[in-house]
Each structure stands twice: as C-alpha cells, then as structure tokens.
Chains A and B, each alone.
Chain A
Amino acid sequence: MIERRNAIYIAVAIVLAIVPAFLNAYWVDVLNSIGIYAILALSLNIIVGHAGLFNLGHAAFYAIGAYTAAIMNTSFGIPVLWLLPLCAFTAGLFALIVARPIIHLRGDYLCIVTIGVGEIVRIALINNVFGITGGANGIFGIDRPTLFGLTIRSPYQFFYLIWIFAGITIFLFHLLEYSRFGRALNYLREDEVAAEGSGINIAHYKLACFVVGAAWAGMVGNIYAAKMTIISPESYSFWESVLMFTIVILGGSGSIPGVLLGAFLIIGLPEIFREFANARMLIFGAAMVVMMIFRTQGLLPSRPRTYDLTKVGAGEGSS
C-alpha cells in the first residue's frame, strides 16, 4: 500500500518536473499559484485537519511572513531566501502570542477569533502600523531571490523553487503525520477528554500545531513576496483564509494527497473556467456545494492508520 502511494508521488513528481517544458508562461504561473496554495493548505492542514482546530485566519501568518521578508529585504538588503528562518520565526512567534490566550476556546469561538485576528492584522497593515508596512499600497521593490548565484526571475525558475519547497514540505509533513506529535494531534481531534486522560498535554499540543502551521505559512509568505516583488494588504484578506480552508476540507482534511488535489482543483479550476468570465465564480460556488454533498469526507479522505501486524515485532509498536 505504502509502496503504491510512493509510486504515485514519484510519478506526479516526474510529470511536474517536465510539464513546464510544454506550457507557456501563463500556465506555469498558474502552477506556481497552485504550489503556493498547496503549501499554505498543507500548513493549515496541521491545524485544521490533524488537530481539528477551526482556523479561518491563516492568512494572518502568511502576511506576517511576507511582510517580514519585505521589510528586512527592502530596509536592510538581506537576500530574501536567507530570511526564510526569520519569517518562520516571526510568524511562529506571532502565532504563539495570539494563540496562547485563546487556545482553550472551543470550535466556533476559536473560528471567529481567528477570523478576527486575520482582520486585525490586515487592518493594521492597511493603517501602516509602526510606520513600516507601507499602508494600503504595501511594499514594493523586493529583491528577486538568488540561489547558488542564480537569480530566480522567470515563472519557470520559480516553478522549480516553489515545487521543490512543496516537495520538502510534503516529505516533512508526512513524517510529522506518522510521528508521536501527529498521533497526539489526531487523538485530541477525535476526543479531547480521552486524550487528556491519556496524558496528552492538550494546550501544549494545540499551541505547538498552531506555531508549526504558522511558521510554515510564514515561509510561504517569504517566497510569495520574492515572487511578486510587491505585496499589499489585499493579498491577505479573509478570502485567502477561506480559500486555504476550503482546499483542506474539500480535498480531504488530514490527508496530504487530498490537500494537494484540493489545491489543484480550487486554484486551477477557476483558471480553466476563465472563458466563462463573470459566471466562473458562480459555478465555483455551486461546485463547492455539490462536491461537499457527494464527497462529504473530501475528495481523498485520510484513511485510518493501518499497521501490518506481521511486520511489527514485539515492542516495536510502542516507539
């Protein structure tokens, strides 16, 4: 089973690696958007899919990362990609600070608070908070990223940067899913009381998954800022959070292949329907409803873990 899935991953990776050669710059750019949203949705998947926490303000963390990169790059001239760890740190720290007092809130209360945090961040950016965010116009003139002396400029070059980052993300998040940490998150999603009874420190794990998800979104923010070279608050609206959330739920919450497929459909389909012009978002909305009705668990739901008993020796399962 695992082997078959690996084979599918490898096949998809090979197709993705050669497909830019057959596409024009526009469609490569669409694939770049898909990649960015795929990574964002994967980072949100840790919070929504694995831990079952209702986060509709993920764009805030994305924004913090992007603005960190933009401010440090334009003010101090630090190369953008070097700022990746710093972006992860600031977004993670922000998540830690805002999530700490609200983490005990249940379901829908957490939802509205995360929406609120997202809106507060956006409004703060528009109002040029601390005089460093450039107000409604945002920040422009961010440097192109350089990697091993090569300046990444064209959509084709960005394609490889984004999708290699996506590949690393998928690999790490896959490990995370099967780690002690991932199991703990799933447990507290299924039954908080039982999880706590089994010695899982709920507040600690919830906070940790928020920080990990936010830090990853912060790094995506960095890449987005480098790709666009100009960022403004409107790129981090509530709508962005809704998109990420929809990708996770529609693809299959808690399932990495599901989230990837969700990103392709949610970001890719409106591009394909571009010829319908104005009606495309209407079709998109109706399609969301219909897809949820026919695939309530998402397109590729996460499967319960299976353990091959013949391969597990005595005591190995306890690691």
Chain B
Amino acid sequence: MELFFQQLTNGLAVGAIYALIALGYTMVYGVLKLINFAHGDLFTIGAYLGLTLLTSMALTEHIGPFLGVSVLAIMVMGLVAVIGALLDRLAYRPLRESPRLSAVVSALGASIFFQNTVMLIYGARFQVYPQNILPKTAINIFGLYVPLIRILILLASIVMMGALYFFIQKTKVGTAIRAAAIDQGAARLMGIDVNRVILMVFLLGPAMGGLAGLMVGLYYGQINFTMGWVYGLKAFTAAILGGIGNIPGAMVGGILLGVIEAMGAAYISIAWKDAIAFCVLILILIFRPTGLLGERVAEKV
C-alpha cells in the first residue's frame, strides 16, 4: 500500500508536468493543425534557463525559497514564451499556406536546431541543479510521507491549468483562440486577427512548457539537452490520449499517463516503462479513435 501511494503521488507529479507540456501541443494543434515537434525542446530550454538564472542570480538566497522560485518561474516562463513566439515567426509563419507535412519537417528542423544550440552552450553532459533550493521536507498525509516538492509541483500545475482554462473560457482573447481553432476563415471574417491569436498560443504554450522544464529540474535535480525528445513525445502522447485540440483533454491525458507510467514501472517492469505508456495509448486509440475526451478540431471533409 505504501508503494502504491508513493507511486500514485509520484505519478501525479510527473503527470502534471506532462499535462503542462501537453497543453502547448494541444493549443498549437487546435489552431494550426501542426504538431510542434520543437515544443519538447522549448521545455528543455526552460529547464536550462532555470538553471542559469538560479545559479547566476541566487534569488532564493535573497528573498526566500518559495518567493524566489516563484519569481524564477515567472522569468523562465516569460523568456521561453518569447522564444516560442520567435519560433513561430521564423519557422512556422512562412509555412502557413503550405502542405502540413512541410511545416512538420520545419518543426523537426527547429527541434534539431534548439537541441544543438543547448548542447553547444551548456555541453552534452548532464547538468545538475543546485540542491536545497526548496526545503527537502516530507509532509505527513494520513500517515504517508510525501515529499514537499511533489505537492508543490502538483499544486502549481493545477493552478496554472486552472488559470489557463479560465483564460481560454472566460476572456475575450480566449474566446478568439477557441473561435480560431474551430474555423480560421470564419474567425477572420468576424474580425479576429488570427495571426495575433496564433502569437498568443505560441506565448502561452511555450510558457507552460518552460515552467514544466523548471519543474523537472527541481524535481529530478539533473537535466540533459536531449530530454526534450522524451518528455515531448510523452506529452504529445498525453495530448492525443485526451483528444488533441482539447484543453481539458490534455490535462486529463497528462495526469493519466503519468500515473499509468508510475504504476507500470512499479508493478510490471521498470525496463518496459516507456513501452507501457505507448501500449496504453494504442489500446485507447483502437477503441476511442479520437482520444478519451474526443478532439475539438474542425476537420475539412
């Protein structure tokens, strides 16, 4: 039972990270029908920027751990959002009217570019996050000791996802994003500046991805320039699992994938951990071809 709950909380924390990354995939897909393969690398950049800011500014020493990490998170999110917007402007916007697969190759190229940029700047070896940023205490929940960081990751992710959901559902800009996702042409006729909507999506998605990168750095303590591939693939899986283009779907898919993986690693085999996630995905798609919550994408027939 102890193992079960430890794996459950671990899975929830990892799943929350997947969900944050998956949001970026699903929003971009919703509006552009593009699989942004470079999104995983924006996540990596978030992790590395977090490391640089953490070591160079020593914020946590000046203003305390929690406030320091919060300020750091905001800075990382802002920087990665800018990189995301630049990525769209340079690599995707010239390809708006071209075949979809061309944009996918452009995305793959951008991914290779980012990955190697990070490698050239920081080196190919694992980089270690400074220890003791956050107090390494465990919190007693009904007799179970859960590390504080897991709870913080889960809480922060839920807050971010809630804020994003509110933003998409309740604000004017969010409504414009939803409208552009349903029908770009019609949205344009209604006076929505679709390019601004896309810019918004490329600010929000990468910001979430960058935050997830920082969280992984703080949670696992070490980062590598190739980790974006793995996390990106998992998050994309999560987005498809929940139904791509569907924002609550990405959240559910992410959390579910994290928990399934953690349970699979604990009870089936740790070596098959990644394969289990994909097997579950394939099984779900065989029975529900558009994901668990269904997709919200207008399809040309």
Interface-side segment among B96-104, B129-137, B202-210: B96-104
B261 CB to nearest chain A CB (Å)? 13
Cα–Cα, bound, A112→B285 (Å): 10
Q: Are A116 and B91 in contact (CB under 8 A)?
A: no
Q: Is A115 engaged at the interface, CB distance under 8 Å to the other chain?
A: yes
**Residues in chain B near residue A296, CB distance under 8 A:** 95, 98-99, 102
Q: Are B275 and A112 in contact (CB under 8 A)?
A: no
- Chain B 105-134 against A: per-residue CB contact (8 Å), 1 yes, 0 no? 110111111111101100000000000000
Q: Are A285 and B112 in contact (CB under 8 A)?
A: yes
**Residues in chain B near residue A289, CB distance under 8 A:** 90-91, 106, 109-110, 113
Contact of B279 among A101, A120, A242 (CB under 8 A): A120
Q: Are A106 and B113 in contact (CB under 8 A)?
A: no
Interface-side segment among B48-56, B177-185, B212-220, B236-244: B236-244
Contact of B102 among A278, A287, A297 (CB under 8 A): A297
Q: Are B120 and A102 in contact (CB under 8 A)?
A: no
Q: Are A116 and B282 in contact (CB under 8 A)?
A: yes
Q: With A246-B108, A249-B105 in contact, do A285 and B113 touch (Cβ < 8 Å)?
A: yes
B103 CB to nearest chain A CB (Å)? 7
Interface residues on A, range: 35 or more
Q: Is B272 engaged at the interface, CB distance under 8 Å to the other chain?
A: yes
Q: Are A292 and B102 in contact (CB under 8 A)?
A: yes
In the complex, chain A residues 185-217 whose Cβ is within 8 Å of any chain B Cβ: 193
**Residues in chain B near residue A298, CB distance under 8 A:** 102
Q: Are B102 and A119 in contact (CB under 8 A)?
A: no
Cα–Cα, bound, A198→B115 (Å): 46
Residue of A nearest to B103 (CB): A292
A34 CB to nearest chain B CB (Å)? 19
Q: Are B272 and A123 in contact (CB under 8 A)?
A: yes
Q: Are B99 and A297 in contact (CB under 8 A)?
A: yes
In the complex, chain A residues 44-75 whose Cβ is within 8 Å of any chain B Cβ: 48, 54
Q: With A286-B109, A286-B113 in contact, do A292 and B95 touch (Cβ < 8 Å)?
A: yes
Q: Are B90 and A105 in contact (CB under 8 A)?
A: no
**Residues in chain B near residue A123, CB distance under 8 A:** 271-272, 274-275
Interface residues on B, range: 35 or more
Residue of A nearest to B120 (CB): A278
Q: Is A113 engaged at the interface, CB distance under 8 Å to the other chain?
A: yes
Q: Is A31 engaged at the interface, CB distance under 8 Å to the other chain?
A: no
Q: Is B141 engaged at the interface, CB distance under 8 Å to the other chain?
A: no
Q: Are B286 and A279 in contact (CB under 8 A)?
A: no
- Chain B 7-40 against A: per-residue CB contact (8 Å), 1 yes, 0 no? 0000000000000000000000100000100000
B298 CB to nearest chain A CB (Å)? 13
Q: Is A126 engaged at the interface, CB distance under 8 Å to the other chain?
A: yes
Q: Are A104 and B116 in contact (CB under 8 A)?
A: no
Q: Are A113 and B113 in contact (CB under 8 A)?
A: no
- Chain A 272-311 against B: per-residue CB contact (8 Å), 1 yes, 0 no? 0000001101101111110011001110000000000000
**Residues in chain B near residue A238, CB distance under 8 A:** 229, 233
Among B95, B113, B244, the one with the most A-chain Cβ atoms within 10 Å of its Cβ is B113
**Residues in chain A near residue B101, CB distance under 8 A:** 48, 54, 249, 253
Q: Is A271 engaged at the interface, CB distance under 8 Å to the other chain?
A: no
Residues of A that sit less than 8 Å from B by CB: 48, 54, 101-102, 104-106, 108-109, 111-113, 115-117, 119-120, 123-124, 126-127, 193, 238, 242, 245-246, 249-250, 253, 278-279, 281-282, 284-289, 292-293, 296-298
- A/B interface sample: 22 pairs, CB < 8 A: A102-B282, A104-B289, A109-B244, A109-B289, A113-B285, A127-B271, A127-B272, A238-B233, A245-B105, A245-B108, A249-B102, A253-B101, A282-B113, A285-B111, A285-B115, A288-B112, A289-B91, A289-B109, A292-B105, A292-B106, A297-B102, A298-B102
The 10 A-B pairs at the shortest CB distance, nearest first, are namely A288-B109, A285-B112, A285-B113, A116-B278, A296-B98, A282-B116, A289-B109, A123-B275, A292-B106, A293-B94
